[in-house]
Every structure is written in C-alpha cells, then in structure tokens.
Amino acid sequence: MKYIHVYALFVMSVFLSSCGQNQTNAPKDNIKPEIKDIGPNIMVRNIKKGRNGAILIAGPNNSSFGDVFRYDGKSFTNFTSKIGSHRFWDVLEDRKGNIWFTSTDSGVYYYNGKSIQHFTTTEGLANNRVMSVYEDKAGIIWFGTGGGISRYDGKSFRNFKTPGPSRVYKGGNWNNDITTIIEDKTGKLWVGTRGDAFVYDGKTFNPLIHKGKTFTNVWSIIEDRKGNIWLGDVTNGLWRYDGSTFTNVSERGAYAIIEDKEGNIWTTGPVNTAHVAVWALSRYDAKSLYSKEPTVTEIMLGDAFFGLLEANDGSIWFGSATGVYRYNGKTITDFYNKEGQKKYSIDTKQSAVVWKGSMLFGAWEGTELISDGSAAGEVDILKGELLIENGHLAGGTVEVGMNTIERKYHDPGPHNIFPDFFDVKKFPVSTFVITKVETLNDGKTEGRNGNMTIEGVATIKVTGNLTIEGITKTVTFPTNMLFKDGMDGTVVVNGTLIIDRTDWGIDSGSEKHFDKSGDGTISDDVKLFIKIVAKK
C-alpha cells in the first residue's frame, strides 16, 4: 500500500449497504463452559469488564486459534474450548448478562448462560471477520466487521458501510475493516478502521481530518470524563480531540487506551512507531496530560501488549503476546503462571542424544582416506524438564542413562556395547543442569503492518553443569529453540556440545597418553548432538 498525502477537505456522504433488516434464526448449541485455574497463554487481544467485577478476556490461545475467558477472582472459565478452532478476538457482557464473543474467521457467538447461538452472514452479519463488539446506551449491539458495521437490535441485523476507499491506503477494503466502535455522550459513534477513522452522527460517516490528513490504522477510541475523545494510532501515536482541535499527545504508538479512576491515561503500543519491535504498557500522568511533554511511565516492556482494562479494585489488566497480566501498582502477576516460569516436561521418546568420537589417526589406502576412525552412538534421556519464562529458556535439567550408551554399526550385529570405559554400575546416571541462558537472536520478526510478532527459530547460548562419573564441570554450547505450536506448544531445542572427555576422568586411549596408545589413540574431543522435545 502506498502512502499518499491528501489535503482536500470535504465531507463524504453516507453509503448504506442494501442488506436491510435481516431476521435471524441462529442455531443453538448446549455447550458447558470449562473451568480452569489458569488463563490464556498467548496473545490476549481484548480485556473487558463483566458484571460483579468479573474480567472478560479474548484472544488466541495458541498459534492458530483462540479462546474467551471470564475470571471471577479465583478461577478462569473458558467459554469456547469446546466450540472448535476459531480465532476469537473480542468479548462483551451486555446489560442483561449475556456474553458475546467475536471471531475473525467464523462470525459472532452469543451465550445466555445455557446455550450458545452462532451468527454469521447467513443470519445477516455483514462479514464473518469480526474484530469488535459494543453495546450502546439503548442496548443495541454493534459489531465491527471486515465488511462494514453491523447493528443488531435483538431480532435482526442492519449493516452499514463507510463511504469510499481510504484516502491513505489504496486498494482493498480498508475503510470497512472495522477495528473499534464507541458511542460518545451526544450519541455519536466513533469508528476506527484499518483505513481511515470516522464519526457517525446517525446519518453520515464523516472522516476525521487534521491538517488535511485522515487518522489511519486506529485500533482504540475512548471518551474521557471531560468529554475529550482519545484516538490510539499504532503508527502515528496518541491523539486527543477536545471538540474543535486535535492534539498529538505522544508519538508513541497506541493500540489500546483507558482512563483510570485518577484520570491517568494508560496505553499499550510500540515505543517507537518507526520500529515496532518493542512495545510497552505506559501510564500518562493526569497532572501533566495537557502539558507539552506529558510525564510517561513505562510499567513493562515486551514484544507486544494489546488489551487493557482497569478492574474494580483499581488494578490494571493488560494482555500480551504471552498471556494476561495484572499490575497492582507494585507488582505484576502473570495469570498463566504466577511463579513466572512454566515447566515443560521432556518427551523422552522424541528426544535424543547422539555422541560421535574418532581415532586420532585415519585409515589410508594409497592416497585415499578410507576412514577417519569415527564412531557414533546414542544414549537415552531418562527424564527432565525445561523452564520457560516469557517465551525464553530460563533453566532446566536433563538426566541421561549411561548404561544405554551404544555404538551404531553399519553392518548387522551382534556387537558389544561401546565404549567400555564408563563405570555404569557406580555412576548409572549423568546429569546436566542449566545455570545460564544467553539469547543471541530471539528469532522474532515483524508481521504485516508491524502490528504483530512472528515467532521463528531463536539462537541461544546455554551454560550449565555437566556431571559424568561423579565429576561436575561447567560447559557452554550453542543451541536453537523453536515453539512448534505457539507459546504453549511443543518446545524443540537443538544443540551441539563438544567436550574433552578427560576433564571427567575418561582418559582411556587419550591423546595425552599417545606414547602408550600408539595408532590406537582416541581423540579426546567427543561431540554430543542434542535434540530435546518438551511439552507443557
């Protein structure tokens, strides 16, 4: 999409879609919610306040689909775990206590406490890609879809489209890819889209224009207690509108915005809109909001922060790329794992350690090297676990059965166990305990439009204590790490460790005793190829 500056000021007339009043007869499914003591574990997009102080949470629950949760202060209820694999995005509890949750691939779901109804384009919804849900003062439910706005009065849908293409983003349906909707005190609707932002007075969609430019890629809009409108623009910063003038409060990107009870403004979004790799949960001090340089406090930095809410007790809830968190003014609580680390058990059947050694001298036939005298074999991993913190390897232990060491032969057996210089009766188990992990490359890249993070293969350096034959030495080696199915999926660690076996007292046929071993000398270096597969 090519950015073009447009300076003409004009009001665009409303274009109403011809879908009209579509009566609904949505199917119902009796599905019981699932109650757990942990919440979502990845990419929380939206957090809303429910009745009786409940917290409602929506967003992907692994790399391909999502869930909707309610937290009652003690446990999390998952409303969608048995519905199927869908990309749930937003959630709302209406004034009657019904729960609405939207998806970007299968429309809208409605839960009345007993059964779930499913609304799609078949029932009159404008589009099955739905990123926002809002209830106005009259109890009307509004949906922001990928094909315009849908209004639902309890019986039927009425659909609206904003006029014309985006002034900035050419091609595509960006002005009708709706991201957020709110109603102000006067009854007007403020609409954010992935194209231009609009205000709807009931008759006409008017684009928001400042100095000849429209506001684009607006993901959040709020009205504060003074009646000011705040716009969250991921790429162009935080803006305030007092009814006549737009003010750029900050150049920091703003994905979500809230005003707390003290009048402070909180945002989530990229620290630098030119390079959105680092996001922050930020607080703008109420006393300095109208100064040229408001006081901003970064509460937490990370890969990505999205949904945002102030709970009844004044705590701030925010969603990140790794779950949902609560900030009480002093500490941050990770509700997926309150201890801050997640344990992944090693799958011993899918994990392996392969050793490779060689003779000091090769075997020749004339001028042709026919063998380097190398030998290889496997050793079984008995058990172990990895500790993962915020998507990074933080620690772990591995136990290896020394009496399982065998040499691989290309020709059929039988063959003796090799090598024979381990005292497996006295030391049947060797261990490795991770003490330090350095991230060389986190493997993360920016997604389209810079508003998402794609997880790739991370390059890390692992340091730990390796114990063999009762002797413990510190070793460091390079590894790669990959989450196969999202942050709570399968972790795969692939590393290569080269050790000097004589450091652990294994000196049979050592290079250090060449004068005694002759051409039967075995190289002191042993290469260990390590593949660890661990699951939550």
**CATH label of the domain that carries residue 326:** 2.130.10.10
Q: If you average pLDDT over residues 275-283, what whole number do you get?
A: 86
Q: If you average pLDDT over residues 164-192, what whole number do you get?
A: 90
| 10: in domain | no
Q: How many domains does the chain have?
A: 2
Does one domain contain both 264 and 318?
A: yes
pLDDT digits (tens, 9 = 90+) for 310-326: 999 999 999 987 788 99
pLDDT digits (tens, 9 = 90+) for 21-57: 455 555 555 555 555 555 676 778 999 999 989 999 9
| 109: in domain | no
Any idea which of 181-190, 291-300, 362-371, 450-459 has the lowest mean pLDDT? 450-459
Does one domain contain both 363 and 511?
A: yes
* Structure confidence at residue 299 (pLDDT): 93
Q: Read off φ and ψ for residue 507, nearest 5 degrees.
A: -120, 15
Determine the structural domain holding residue 216 and report its residue range.
Answer: 15-34+114-334
Instruction: Say how far apart CA 400 and CA 379 lie, in whole Å.
Output: 7
* Structure confidence at residue 13 (pLDDT): 24
Does one domain contain both 402 and 466?
A: yes
Q: If you average pLDDT over residues 127-153, what whole number do you get?
A: 97
Residue in 105, 18, 54 with CA at minimum distance from that of residue 309: 54
**Model pTM?**
0.64
Does one domain contain both 193 and 238?
A: yes
What are the angstrom distances between the C-alpha of 480 and each of 457, 459, 496? 6, 5, 10
* Structure confidence at residue 140 (pLDDT): 97
| 145: in domain | yes
Any idea which of 4-8, 54-58, 289-293, 460-464 has the lowest mean pLDDT? 4-8
Evaluate if residue 1 carries a pLDDT over 80: no
Does one domain contain both 467 and 529?
A: yes
Residue in 49, 55, 131 with CA at minimum distance from that of residue 94: 49
Q: If you average pLDDT over residues 139-151, what whole number do you get?
A: 97
| 71: in domain | no
Does one domain contain both 288 and 311?
A: yes
Instruction: Say how far apart CA 359 and CA 371 lie, in whole Å.
Output: 10
* Structure confidence at residue 233 (pLDDT): 84
- Work out the percent of the chain whose per-residue pLDDT is above 90: 51
| 127: in domain | yes
* Structure confidence at residue 424 (pLDDT): 73
Of the two residues 85 and 42, the one the predictor is more confident about is 85
Does one domain contain both 298 and 183?
A: yes
The band of 304, judged by pLDDT with boundaries at 50, 70 and 90, is confident
Q: If you average pLDDT over residues 334-340, what whole number do you get?
A: 62
Pick from 334, 360, 388: which residue ends a domain?
A: 334
| 99: in domain | no
CB 480 within 8 A of CB 533: no
Distant-in-sequence, close-in-space partners of 92: CB < 8 Å, separation ≥ 6: 48, 56, 99, 100, 101, 133, 134, 135, 141
Q: If you average pLDDT over residues 168-174, what whole number do you get?
A: 79
Does one domain contain both 457 and 478?
A: yes
Does one domain contain both 464 and 431?
A: yes
The band of 162, judged by pLDDT with boundaries at 50, 70 and 90, is confident
Evaluate if residue 103 carries a pLDDT over 90: yes
| 356: in domain | yes
pLDDT digits (tens, 9 = 90+) for 187-245: 999 999 999 999 999 999 999 999 989 999 999 999 999 999 999 988 889 999 999 99
| 484: in domain | yes
Instruction: Say how far apart CA 258 and CA 281 lie, in whole Å.
Output: 11
* Structure confidence at residue 29 (pLDDT): 55
Task: Say whether the peptide bond before residue 419 is cis (omega within 30 degrees of 0).
Answer: yes
What are the angstrom distances between the C-alpha of 40 and each of 62, 109, 318? 9, 19, 12
